[in-house]
Each structure stands twice: as C-alpha cells, then as structure tokens.
Amino acid sequence: MGLYNLLMDFDFKLLFLFVFIYIIIADFLKHRNPPNYPPGPLSLPLVGNVISLDRKHPHVQFSKLADIYGKVFSFRLGGDKMVFVSGYKTVKEAIVTQADIFVDRPHNALLDRFFSGSSGGLFMSNGETWKKQRRFALSTLRNFGLGKGTMEQSICEEIRHLQEEIEKEKGGPFDPAILFYNGVSNIICQLVMGKRFDYSDHNFQIMLKYLSEALRLQGSVWGLMYQAFPELMKHLPGPHNKMFSHVDAILDFISQEVESHKKDLDHSDPRDYIDAFLIEMENHKESDLGFTEINLAMCSVDLFMAGSETTSTTLLWALVYLIKNPDTQDKVLAEIDGVIGRTRQPSMADRPNMPYTDAVIHEIQRMGNIVPLNGLRITAKDTTLGGYLIPKGTTVIPFLTSVLFDKTEWETPDTFNPGHFLDAEGKFVKREAFLPFSAGKRVCLGEGLAKMELFLFLVGLLQKFSFCVPDGVELSTEGVTGVTRVPHPFKVHARAR
Ligand code: HEM
C-alpha cells in the first residue's frame, strides 16, 4: 500500500511537471516575437506583464516605458500582446499616414459579451458595417441640428436647467459631477430619443449610475482581468459581473424607447436617431450592414457611453483648473463680460471673439487627458513603424497621453498654460499635437458636438457663477483612471455673479 501511494504520488508529480512544461513551451511558441518586433519589458509566461501593471495610473507607467524603450514598444497582458505607439509624430504616422492599416478595432472579450448578437455598434464594428454606421450616425447628427443652430438651442436650454439646479444650492458646497453628467447626457438623449429627463427622474438617475459604473469597471483591474482571462473570469464571482448586468439594464431602457418610437413613427418626419434608424432598417432588409434592432440599441449605448461621461468629465476638469488658477478664471470671466455680457445667451458665433476662453478650453482638454490610452486598433497587414515590424493582427494603442504631453511639441508639457494656444498678440492658434479626440478615420465621431457643448456649457455657467472650493481645500489633478480619467470627487461653491 505504502509503495502504491509512493508510485501514485510520483506519477502525479511527473504528470504535473509534464503539463507545466508543456504549457510553458506552448505559451512560448504561441507568443514568440518575430525578428525586429518592438522591444518591451520582459514578460512572464501565461500572465505577461500583468503583475507589474500599475493599476492606478497605467498611462503614467506606459509614459515611463516609452522613455525606456522608445516610441514603439510592446507590452503583454495575459494572452494579449500589444504595441504602444508614442509621441505626436509616430502616432500620426500610424493612424493618419497609414490610416487603412490601423483603422480596425481588435477583438475584445469584454465588449464581445456586451455586444453579443449585434454588429458591434459604432465603437467596435469594423469594415463595411462600421463605415455605413459611422456615416449614418454623422449624417443623423447633422440632420438633427449640428451646424444648424437647433443643437445650439437644445444645449442652451439645458444650460438654463443646469443653472436653475445650481441656484438651488444657494452658494453652499455641492458635488458638480452628478449635475454635469445629467445635463450633458440630456443632450445625447435629445439626439437619440428626442427628449430630455428631469434632474430628479429616478429611472434616468439609475441609468446614468449604471453607465458610469460600467465604464469605470471596464477600465478597472476587473475589466483588464476579464480581457486577459475571459474563460476563467466568466465563472468567477466579482464586481466584473456587474458590468454585464448594468449594460443589460441600459439596453432594456433603450429598447423600451425603441418600442414606443415604433408606435408613432412618421416616415416622412423622423424626430431623432431612433426614428431615422428604424426607417433606414427598412431599406436594409437584404443586407443588414448593422441596421438591426439589437444594433440600434448598441449604437445608442455607444453614443451614451462615448458622449456623456467624456464631455461632463472635461467640464469637471475645467472647474478643477479654473479654481486652481484663479487669475485664469478672472480673465475668462472678464472676456465673457466684454463679449457677451451677463444676460444674452452665448452662441458659437461668439467663439472667434473669445480667443482667451477658447485657449483655456483647449488647455483644459490637453491637461485633463480624459481618454489617456485612446481607442484600441488592430493592424490589417504587416507594417513597419519607427523601424520595427508590427505584424498583421497586432493590437495597437495610439497612446494619446504621449501626444498631449509630448516634450518636443509643448513648451511646458506638464504645466497648465493657456499660452500654448495663443500667439504674441493674444490670438488663438491651433496646435497640431492637440489630439484629445484622436485623429484619422476613427477620430471621435462626436468631436463637433463635444466642442460645441464644452464652449456653451462652460461659458453659460461662468456667465452666471464664479467657482471656488471650501476654505482649506486643495483640489487634486491626479485623477482616477478607468477608460476615462476623471477628477477625484470634489465639492464647489458657485457664487452668483
Ligand atoms: C470631450 C469629449 C470627447 C472626447 C475627449 C472624446 C474622445 C474620443 C476618442 C479619443 C475616441 C477614440 C478615437 C480613436 O479610436 O481613434 C472617441 C471615439 C468615439 N467618440 Fe468621442 N469623445 C468625446 C465626446 C464624444 C461625443 C459627445 C460623442 C457622441 C456624439 C462621441 C462619440 C464617439 C464615438 C461614437 C466614437 C467611436 C468612433 C469610431 O470608432 O468610429 N464622443 N472619442
């Protein structure tokens, strides 16, 4: 019996050793780098660089790796090998000059589960479906007011609601995050479903909570772990499961809107994105190209996810930088008083006459760096970049932090300095390395809308209020990094002007 146990024990250890060596060799062969592959930190079998990943501020760690390994370097998260492209010139070379090679999004286990059954919405779709959906969304945005003044009107109306909400605080300290998020999301609601929600609407508040929590979890260590080890994570308990239930609840919310739109759809007079999409679906019965009901819900989720938190977070960074730089805030207030006054509604026609405010908004976006990594891409064929080979099918990160803080492009990259966007006479100057919306064929679809919202919301708020923090409070610019980089929660006083 004793000998039997000994043999079994020995066999078991041998088997274990054999399986272990087999896994290591298989992993090595699968992830072996081809000649002239970009350099990067040494990675462990199976887990890659997961253990050394800075979970709090990955973009800071990746900036340091770019200093060590150069403008094109590699990194491995579990089974996912990725190549980082850094610095304005190299990022532009990839996503603009070699646009066709770097245009697609890679497979992503997390988003695959969110998007299951759809054609990938707007953000994750590729090929003809993406082209068609992107073109359709852009033309719908134009038809419903962008560049025609109607969108400007909706934004100004929303600003009035926001001002009223802030007035209710009577100068006392309040958290601006929820109000800004609500206000900005209402602009997407107008666009997608033709209506806005009151700031006290319970169901809408819950949807916004789900939306921001799903985004936060997606960029958290739980989201990264799911992407790196989907088969394992699927079966484990943990906060990552909330992401899926939250996205399902948002999809339900939108599906209910779609159902009610179907009931009173007027083919000759579409009211919003949902109506326009339902009408377009009838023209695509043969070749769907993403014009299906499930993809309508997914595209709408994308517009909410990509268009709400980004803009409201930028407005929060605006408060942080204006409060930390009171001279800048005073100069913006003076320009608003001089050009618009305190009663007339602001309009986009005012922007060319307000170079200082325009420069401040640009600098807030640069320093805010709210999408620090950018959207991921995958190479369509073998190519070279910075002298290195990037094989077909490689996940590529056109690293936006490295562009917005590029030492060779910005005079004071790490300091808030509206002068980056002003010439010696105080006129506004465009800067090529200003790419918070990215560039090339996948450039942010909502860039025009976001710029309009940022200008009108900020000017509308500063027309009525000046902002400061409670005595003794020092605001942090460190931020919390998920998919987006948001300021730490803070409270402000809004003093009526
Ligand atoms: C300050 C606000 C915003 C910032 C900084 C921002 C930034 C970005 C960035 C960096 C990307 C990835 C681009 C790439 O992969 O190269 C992106 C994509 C996208 N954004 Fe925005 N965004 C903002 C507002 C908006 C708004 C308001 C909308 C909605 C209308 C929107 C809709 C989208 C969509 C649909 C995509 C995916 C485009 C595609 O894959 O073709 N964004 N955005």
Residue 270 and residue 382: Cα distance in Å, rounded?
44
The answer to whether residues 170 and 43 belong to one domain is no
What is the pLDDT, as a whole number, of residue 22?
78
Residue 221 and residue 51: Cα distance in Å, rounded?
11
- The atom of ligand 1 lying closest to the CA of 441 is 41
Alpha-carbon dihedral sign for residues 92, 97, 103, 106: negative
Residue 497 and residue 484: Cα distance in Å, rounded?
32
The answer to whether residues 103 and 31 belong to one domain is no
Residue 144 and residue 155: Cα distance in Å, rounded?
13
What is the pLDDT, as a whole number, of residue 6?
66
Does residue 241 sit in helix, strand or coil? helix
The answer to whether residues 73 and 46 belong to one domain is no
Among 13, 37, 52, the domain-final residue is: 52
CATH, residue 95: 1.10.630.10
Q: Give the tens place of pLDDT for each residue, 23-79.
A: 777 777 777 888 999 999 988 887 788 778 887 888 999 999 999 999 999 998 877
What is the pLDDT, as a whole number, of residue 8?
65
Q: Are 223 and 240 in contact, with CB atoms under 8 Å apart?
A: yes
The answer to whether residues 46 and 105 belong to one domain is no
What is the pLDDT, as a whole number, of residue 144?
82
- Identify which of 256, 294, 289, 304 has the alpha carbon closest to the alpha carbon of residue 136: 289
What is the pLDDT, as a whole number, of residue 7?
62
The answer to whether residues 241 and 297 belong to one domain is yes
Those residues whose C-beta lies under 8 Å from the C-beta of residue 415, and which sit 6 or more positions away, are none
The answer to whether residues 33 and 141 belong to one domain is no
**Low-confidence spans in the chain with pLDDT less than 50:** none
DSSP run (H or E) holding 75 = strand 72-77
The answer to whether residues 122 and 228 belong to one domain is yes
Output the six-digit token pair for 343. Answer: 């009663």
The answer to whether residues 6 and 126 belong to one domain is no
Please count the structural domains in the chain. Answer: 2
The answer to whether residues 243 and 338 belong to one domain is yes
Q: Are 172 and 496 in contact, with CB atoms under 8 Å apart?
A: no
DSSP code per residue over 35-101: TTPPP----BTTTBTGGG--SS-HHHHHHHHHHHH-SEEEEEETTEEEEEE-SHHHHHIIIIITTTT
The answer to whether residues 208 and 335 belong to one domain is yes
Q: What is the β-pairing status of strands 383-385 and 388-390?
A: antiparallel
The answer to whether residues 95 and 115 belong to one domain is yes
SS (H, E, C) 209-228: HHHHHHHHHHHCHHHHHHHH
**How far, in Å, from the CA of 459 to the mean position of ligand 1?**
22
What is the pLDDT, as a whole number, of residue 80?
79
What is the pLDDT, as a whole number, of residue 217?
84
Output the six-digit token pair for 396. Answer: 């590529």
The answer to whether residues 33 and 100 belong to one domain is no
**How far, in Å, from the CA of 109 to the mean position of ligand 1?**
21
Q: Which residues' Cβ are closer than 6 Å to ligand 1?
A: 122-123, 134, 302-303, 306-307, 310-311, 314, 370-371, 374-375, 436-438, 442-446, 449-450
What is the pLDDT, as a whole number, of residue 3?
65
* Residue minimizing CA distance to atom 24 of ligand 1: 307
Residue 46 and residue 24: Cα distance in Å, rounded?
8
Residue 292 and residue 288: Cα distance in Å, rounded?
7
Alpha-carbon dihedral sign for residues 393, 394, 398, 401: positive
Q: Are 162 and 465 in contact, with CB atoms under 8 Å apart?
A: no
- Identify which of 77, 173, 149, 25 has the alpha carbon closest to the alpha carbon of residue 456: 149
What is the pLDDT, as a whole number, of residue 24?
78
Pocket-testing residue among 146, 185, 363, 444, ligand 1, by greatest number of atoms within 8 A of Cβ: 444
DSSP run (H or E) holding 233 = helix 230-233
Output the six-digit token pair for 110. Answer: 């997390």
* Residue minimizing CA distance to atom 30 of ligand 1: 446
Could you tell me how far CA 17 lies from the centroid of its own chain?
A: 44
**How far, in Å, from the CA of 473 to the mean position of ligand 1?**
33
> Nearest 5°: CA angle at 473, between 468 and 475?
75
Show the domain range for 12.
Answer: 2-52
Pocket-testing residue among 190, 373, 437, 453, ligand 1, by greatest number of atoms within 8 A of Cβ: 437
